[in-house]
């Protein structure tokens, strides 16, 4: 199969490109990416000489280039997005542009070019925020609460509409929080690990009691490929890690694993509209795709810490560049938020 991976120079897309080329020798991959602040060609360096790999720089909102590139593949796996909730609070429009208009541009191109198979990578945040009990599953009502999740919810609806209206062969996956190699150090886990390696504190939003369900990125890649090959057309599959942790608990685990002091936590002002809890019931993926998370949480965290220790140049360059400028413009501290 010839795959187009949009957003393949970002965190999960990079991991997926490596996953496909390693585990599916009959497949080839074109990564299509705009290289925004979150896209990094350095991620794909080890694939440069691989004859089954190609990179094309481009914007998923560009109708012409998107039309041309989908002609070259059998399936699109769509990761490209503005993905960071905090940034969506400051600049919702760029999220609407890429996540909504960009997704529709891809859907139109797939429909007009032989009804190319389309898998849409989405998030559990479209379902809103859970209380202490319950879990998200495929038939949970949509209730997005941030500009990011609202833009992803819109894109999910457009993908489903393409199936119902035009019979475009689509599947959707909604996944919980990912962690692992190549994750941009504005997200909580890599921010925490790299801050500790720099001798800085971990910023904890609010009281630190918000809960996320963490999935090791490699498990997510297995799930996406299974949905692409074995998923029923028009269906949604939820993936989760069965690893719910309050942020404060997660930060303490990272401190412990890195041998850092407990006072390396700093409570900072909360994220506006901060969702309380995410958790996933992934029984449908288990039953229909034979998928379940395989990497135990502590194992995944240790592997992730090792990766950031061994790839200091990668994240140092990022933190010294656009990331730092962004945080300085927001908080004036270059990487850590104002203490409350
Ligand atoms: P990321 O921010 O690390 O990477 C996004 C990539 O998309 C970057 O390489 C960027 O350059 C590219 N991109 C952005 N706008 C583009 C455009 N207009 N045209 C072409 N390329 C563009 O994101 P990620 O964390 O790897 O997430 C990938 C996908 O998975 C997203 O759709 C996100 O909503 C979804 N998702 C992420 C998580 C998570 O925990 N990170 C969990 C569930 C779902
Ligand atoms: O649930 C899936 C989603 O997970 C994906 O769709 C998003 O693309 C991805 O960014 C992620 O969203 P979150 O907002 O949950 O991830 P983030 O890493 O930004 O934050 C995780 C939790 O940690 C959240 O409760 C906010 C908190 N946090 C985050 C940062 C950056 C802090 O306490 N301090 C911080 O400095």
pLDDT at residue 32, rounded to an integer:
98
Is 308 within 8 Å of 190 (Cβ atoms)? Answer: yes
Whole-angstrom distance, CA of residue 201 vs CA of residue 193? 10
Tens of pLDDT, residues 187-222: 999 999 999 999 999 999 999 999 999 999 999 999
Q: Determine if ligand 1 sits within 6 Å of the CB of residue 36.
A: yes
Whole-angstrom distance, CA of residue 287 vs CA of residue 237? 11
Whole-angstrom distance, CA of residue 220 vs CA of residue 177? 10
Closest ligand to the CA of 338: 2
pLDDT at residue 130, rounded to an integer:
98
Q: Determine if ligand 1 sits within 6 Å of the CB of residue 5.
A: no
Residue keyed to tokens 């991991």 = 15
Using pLDDT thresholds of 50, 70 and 90, give the confidence band for residue 268: very high
pLDDT-above-70 percentage for the chain: 94
Q: Which atom of ligand 1 lies at the shortest distance from residue 13's CA?
A: 26
H helices of 167-246, in order, are 188-197, 217-230
Closest ligand to the CA of 331: 2
With a cut of 80, say whether residue 127 has pLDDT above it: yes
With a cut of 70, say whether residue 328 has pLDDT above it: no
With 0-12 CB in 10 A as exposed, 13-18 as middle and 19+ as buried, what is 1? middle
Catalytic residue flag (residue 27): no
Catalytic residue flag (residue 124): yes
- Taking the alpha carbons at both ends of the chain, their separation in whole angstroms is 52
Upper half-sphere CA count for residue 129 (Cβ side, 13 Å): 10
The mean pLDDT of 272-284, rounded to a whole number, is 98
Please pick, among 108, 124, 186, 252, the residue that the annotation labels catalytic: 124
Catalytic residue flag (residue 148): yes
With a cut of 90, say whether residue 326 has pLDDT above it: no
Say what the pTM is: 0.96
pLDDT at residue 333, rounded to an integer:
44
With a cut of 60, say whether residue 290 has pLDDT above it: yes
With 0-12 CB in 10 A as exposed, 13-18 as middle and 19+ as buried, what is 281? middle
Q: Determine if ligand 1 sits within 6 Å of the CB of residue 16.
A: no
Distance from the alpha carbon of residue 83 to the mean position of ligand 1, in angstroms: 5
Tens of pLDDT, residues 151-189: 999 999 999 999 999 999 999 999 999 999 999 999 999
CB contact set of 320 (below 8 Å; sequence gap of 6+): none
| Radius of gyration for the chain, computed over Cα atoms and rounded to the nearest angstrom | 19
Q: Determine if ligand 1 sits within 6 Å of the CB of residue 95.
A: no
Ligand 2 pocket, residues with Cβ under 6 angstroms: 83-85, 123-125, 176-177, 187-188, 191, 203-205, 210, 212, 247, 271, 278
pLDDT at residue 325, rounded to an integer:
65
- Nearest residue CA, atom 30 of ligand 2? 188
Question: Structural domains in the chain?
Answer: 2-178+215-242+274-295+322-331 (3.40.50.720)
Greatest C-alpha distance within the chain: 58
The mean pLDDT of 264-268, rounded to a whole number, is 97
CA angle, 291 then 226 then 183, to 5°: 85
Using pLDDT thresholds of 50, 70 and 90, give the confidence band for residue 327: low
Closest ligand to the CA of 185: 2
- Nearest residue CA, atom 11 of ligand 2? 177
Phi first, then psi: give them for residue 26, nearest 5 degrees: -85, -10
Distance from the alpha carbon of residue 81 to the mean position of ligand 1, in angstroms: 4
Using pLDDT thresholds of 50, 70 and 90, give the confidence band for residue 43: very high
Q: Which atom of ligand 1 lies at the shortest distance from residue 97's CA?
A: 18
Phi first, then psi: give them for residue 239, nearest 5 degrees: -120, 135
- Tell whether the torsion through CA atoms of 224, 229, 234 and 237 is positive or negative: negative
Closest ligand to the CA of 156: 1
Q: Determine if ligand 1 sits within 6 Å of the CB of residue 175.
A: yes
Using pLDDT thresholds of 50, 70 and 90, give the confidence band for residue 118: very high
Q: Is 217 helix (H, G, I), strand (E, B) or coil?
A: helix
Please pick, among 18, 148, 179, 222, the residue that the annotation labels catalytic: 148
- The pLDDT mean for the chain works out to 95
Using pLDDT thresholds of 50, 70 and 90, give the confidence band for residue 338: very low
For a ligand 1 pocket test, name from 4, 6, 8, 12 the mutation site with the most ligand atoms within 8 angstroms of its C-beta.
12
Is 205 within 8 Å of 268 (Cβ atoms)? Answer: yes
Whole-angstrom distance, CA of residue 164 vs CA of residue 192? 43
- Nearest residue CA, atom 29 of ligand 1? 79
Upper half-sphere CA count for residue 326 (Cβ side, 13 Å): 15
Give 298's DSSP letter: H
With a cut of 50, say whether residue 230 has pLDDT above it: yes
Range with lowest mean pLDDT among 44-53, 225-234, 270-279, 313-322 = 313-322
Whole-angstrom distance, CA of residue 160 vs CA of residue 30? 24
What DSSP assignment string belongs to 36-54?
A: -TT--GGGGGGGTT-TTEE
Residue keyed to tokens 């039309």 = 67
Is 265 within 8 Å of 255 (Cβ atoms)? Answer: yes
What DSSP assignment string belongs to 309-333?
A: HHTHHHHHHHHHTHHHHHHHHHHSS
CB contact set of 324 (below 8 Å; sequence gap of 6+): 334, 335
The mean pLDDT of 22-39, rounded to a whole number, is 98
């Amino acid at each position: 199969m010839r795959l187009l991976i949009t957003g393949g120079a970002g965190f999960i897309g990079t991991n997926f490109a490596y996953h496909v080329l390693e585990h599916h020798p009959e497949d080839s991959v074109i990564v299509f990416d705009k290289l925004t602040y979150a896209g990094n060609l350095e991620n794909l360096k080890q694939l440069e000489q691989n004859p089954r790999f190609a990179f094309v720089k481009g914007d998923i909102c560009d109708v012409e280039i998107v039309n041309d590139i989908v002609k070259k593949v059998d399936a699109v796996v769509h990761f490209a997005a503005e993905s960071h909730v905090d940034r969506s609070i400051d600049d919702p429009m760029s999220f609407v542009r890429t996540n909504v208009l960009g997704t529709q541009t891809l859907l139109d191109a797939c429909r007009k070019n032989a009804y190319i198979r389309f898998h849409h990578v989405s998030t559990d945040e479209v379902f809103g925020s859970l209380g202490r009990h319950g879990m998200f599953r495929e038939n949970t009502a949509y209730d997005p609460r941030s500009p990011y999740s609202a833009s992803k919810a819109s894109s999910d609806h457009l993908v489903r509409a393409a199936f119902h209206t035009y019979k475009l062969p689509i599947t959707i996956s909604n996944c919980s929080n990912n962690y692992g190699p190549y994750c941009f150090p504005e997200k909580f886990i890599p921010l925490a690990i790299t801050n500790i390696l720099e001798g800085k504190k971990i910023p904890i939003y609010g009281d630190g009691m918000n809960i996320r369900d963490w999935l090791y990125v490699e498990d997510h890649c297995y799930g996406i490929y299974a949905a692409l090959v074995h998923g029923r057309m028009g269906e949604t599959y939820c993936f989760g890690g069965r690893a719910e942790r309050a942020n404060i608990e997660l930060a303490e685990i990272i401190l412990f694993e890195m041998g850092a002091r407990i006072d390396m936590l700093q409570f900072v002002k909360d994220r506006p509209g901060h969702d309380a809890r995410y958790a996933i019931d992934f029984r449908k993926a288990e039953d229909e795709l034979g998928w379940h998370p395989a990497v135990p949480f502590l194992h995944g965290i240790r592997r992730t810490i090792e990766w950031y220790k061994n790839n200091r140049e990668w994240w140092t360059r990022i933190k010294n560049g656009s990331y730092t400028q962004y945080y300085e413009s927001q908080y004036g501290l270059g990487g850590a938020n104002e203490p409350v």
